[in-house]
């Protein structure tokens, strides 16, 4: 005899727990299954341990999807303010770090404790360390085979996340279930991920590993202004992670270092007032010292005095800094990617409920869906909002 519930949710992550809470509050008998030993592991490590749990500016424009309209309904029905109200009800204090990004003052574990308390209040059953070997359609809905035995439920919610950080148990499970039931998948790739450079470029910038600078990183039409970090493998830092979601093999990344400053004018001014100063010393007043050294060497101006530089030479030096073009060889992949781009094709889902159009009772929520947020709390907001949407319906 199979164990029976109204709703089975696979994945005790952000989306699955939110969905469970909402369904439980409606009186549905909910079972959450996870193969991990602990719930919300990605919440625990997120935001450097403080969980950037939402972004007050979150809207459809902050998400990548083949259908940019898909996220509208769910995002409108569960807003950042709704999550903030929940957090405050649980006495969790928070702060805005920058750009609308809200973090816990104390620890990401507070968010996990809050979700578990809400689940308990809504009589949700959580079963961890449970492997799922098969899913089938059954007369009454779905039959899930686990190493603990079979379970049946009228509604099945797949909330098992994407492929990022396989070391933490991320699998392509959701995509396999989608394919099994005939739903299309938008090709997946690592996103919010550091980009790597080939050995020739690395040798050139190797000395710069560890240097960070304020920059605008551009790839095609997408541009993000935040810090860029040069590493032993290539490019990282928030501006690079953001633009990585738009980058494709063969494309260039253009960095505008210190975008608010007209470097050429400043150097020309310094040439008037202190022409005997070395070019790299003058530039080090504007840029991190190692970057200043690098750009003057690249321009073959190392050791030259400002007074010796023509306007043309200064303009060329300034352009090399503010139009710095690099061609990444690849990305660091799912090993370090914060999220997975692509996923369950939104054309197969109802945007109000997250239910598969052709398979009544089957739902997909969170990161496994082809809705991917920018860096900065947007991905959790999508997990809460899509979990909430399905939770009203299952
Ligand atoms: P999530 O991955 O959270 O949960 C899926 C669950 O399903 C897991 O518990 C997993 O064990 C389980 N599962 C997987 N396969 C299974 C299977 N076969 N059987 C049973 N269970 C299975 N976002 C943000 O907005 N702010 C932030 O600060 C950060 N920070 C951050 C840091 C790092 C290092 C990473 C990797 C990611 C972030 N993110 C983030 C992104 C964010 O963590 C992510 O978008 C959400 O966790 C997605 O929530 P889901 O519930 O969809 O999946």
What's the gap in Å between 375 CA and the centre of ligand 1?
Answer: 14
Ligand 1 binding residues, C-beta < 6 A: 10-16, 33-36, 41-42, 45-47, 51-52, 132, 159-161, 164-165, 169, 171, 173, 338-339, 366-367, 377-380, 383
Structure-token pair, residue 245: 């979601």
> What pLDDT score does 140 carry?
87
Of 345, 340, 20, 37, nearest to 156 (Cα)? 20
Structure-token pair, residue 204: 């050139």
Nearest atom within ligand 1 for CA of residue 380: 25
Nearest atom within ligand 1 for CA of residue 165: 36
Nearest atom within ligand 1 for CA of residue 12: 9
**Pairwise CA distance, residues 178 & 173, whole Å:** 9
Tell me the C-alpha to C-alpha distance, in Å, between residue 339 and each of 29, 329, 386. 31, 20, 16
Nearest atom within ligand 1 for CA of residue 368: 52
What's the gap in Å between 89 CA and the centre of ligand 1?
Answer: 24
Per-residue pLDDT of the chain (394 residues; tens, 9 = 90+): 899 999 999 999 999 999 999 999 999 999 999 999 999 999 999 999 999 999 999 999 999 999 999 999 999 999 999 999 999 999 999 999 999 999 999 999 999 999 999 999 999 999 999 999 999 999 989 999 999 999 999 999 999 999 999 988 898 999 999 999 999 999 999 999 999 999 999 999 988 999 999 999 999 999 999 999 999 999 999 999 999 999 999 999 999 999 999 999 999 999 999 999 999 999 999 999 999 999 999 999 988 999 999 999 999 999 999 999 999 999 999 999 999 999 999 999 999 999 999 999 999 999 999 999 999 999 999 999 999 999 999 9
Nearest atom within ligand 1 for CA of residue 170: 14
> What pLDDT score does 42 carry?
97
Tell me the C-alpha to C-alpha distance, in Å, between residue 174 and each of 16, 42, 67, 169, 307. 12, 17, 19, 13, 64
What's the gap in Å between 304 CA and the centre of ligand 1?
Answer: 52
Nearest atom within ligand 1 for CA of residue 386: 52
Class of residue 316 by CB neighbours under 10 A (exposed 0-12, middle 13-18, buried 19+): middle
**Pairwise CA distance, residues 361 & 219, whole Å:** 40
Global pTM value: 0.97
What's the gap in Å between 169 CA and the centre of ligand 1?
Answer: 10
What's the gap in Å between 157 CA and the centre of ligand 1?
Answer: 15
Beta strands at 372-373 and 63-64: parallel, antiparallel or unpaired: antiparallel
What's the gap in Å between 348 CA and the centre of ligand 1?
Answer: 22
Nearest atom within ligand 1 for CA of residue 132: 19
> What pLDDT score does 220 carry?
97
Q: SS3 for 331?
A: strand
What's the gap in Å between 181 CA and the centre of ligand 1?
Answer: 23
What's the gap in Å between 283 CA and the centre of ligand 1?
Answer: 43
**Does residue 298 contact residue 320 with C-beta atoms inside 8 Å?**
yes
Closest-CA residue, ligand 1 atom 16, reads: 160
Look up the ipTM and state it.
Answer: 0.99
What's the gap in Å between 382 CA and the centre of ligand 1?
Answer: 12
Closest-CA residue, ligand 1 atom 53, reads: 161
Closest-CA residue, ligand 1 atom 52, reads: 366
**Pairwise CA distance, residues 15 & 159, whole Å:** 6
């Amino acid at each position: 005899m199979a164990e029976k519930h109204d709703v089975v949710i696979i994945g005790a992550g952000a989306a699955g727990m939110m969905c469970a809470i909402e369904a439980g509050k409606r009186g549905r008998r909910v079972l959450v299954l996870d193969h991990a030993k602990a719930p919300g592991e990605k919440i625990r490590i997120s935001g450097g341990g403080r969980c950037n749990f939402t972004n007050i500016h979150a809207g459809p424009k902050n998400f990548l999807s083949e259908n940019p309209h898909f996220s509208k309904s769910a995002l409108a029905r569960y807003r950042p303010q709704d999550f903030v109200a929940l957090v405050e009800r649980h006495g969790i204090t928070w702060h805005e770090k920058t750009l609308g990004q809200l973090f816990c003052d104390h620890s990401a574990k507070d968010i996990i404790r809050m979700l578990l308390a809400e689940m308990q209040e809504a009589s949700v059953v959580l079963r961890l360390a449970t492997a799922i070997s098969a899913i089938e359609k059954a007369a009454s809905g779905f039959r899930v085979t686990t190493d603990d035995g079979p379970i049946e439920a009228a509604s099945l919610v797949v909330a098992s996340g994407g492929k990022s950080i396989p070391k933490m148990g991320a699998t392509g499970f959701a995509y396999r279930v989608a394919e099994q039931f005939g739903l299309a998948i938008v090709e997946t790739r690592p996103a919010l991920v550091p980009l790597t450079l080939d050995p020739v470029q690395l040798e050139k910038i190797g000395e710069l590993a560890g240097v960070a600078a304020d920059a605008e990183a551009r790839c095609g039409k997408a541009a993000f202004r935040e810090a860029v970090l040069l590493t032993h493998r290539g490019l990282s830092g928030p501006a690079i992670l953001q633009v990585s979601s738009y980058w494709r093999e063969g494309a260039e990344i253009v960095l505008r270092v210190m975008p608010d400053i007209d470097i050429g004018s400043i150097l020309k001014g310094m040439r008037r007032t202190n022409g005997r100063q070395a070019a790299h010393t003058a530039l080090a007043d504007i840029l991190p010292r190692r970057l200043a050294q690098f750009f003057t060497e690249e321009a073959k101006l190392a050791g030259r005095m400002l007074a010796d530089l023509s306007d043309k030479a200064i303009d060329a030096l300034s352009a090399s800094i503010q139009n710095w073009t690099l061609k990444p060889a690849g990305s660091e992949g799912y090993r370090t990617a914060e999220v997975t781009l692509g996923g369950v094709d939104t054309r197969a889902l109802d945007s109000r409920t997250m239910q598969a159009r052709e398979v009544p009772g089957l739902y997909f929520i969170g990161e496994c869906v082809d809705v991917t947020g920018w860096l900065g709390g947007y991905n959790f907001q999508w997990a809460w909002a899509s979990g909430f949407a399905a939770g009203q319906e299952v």
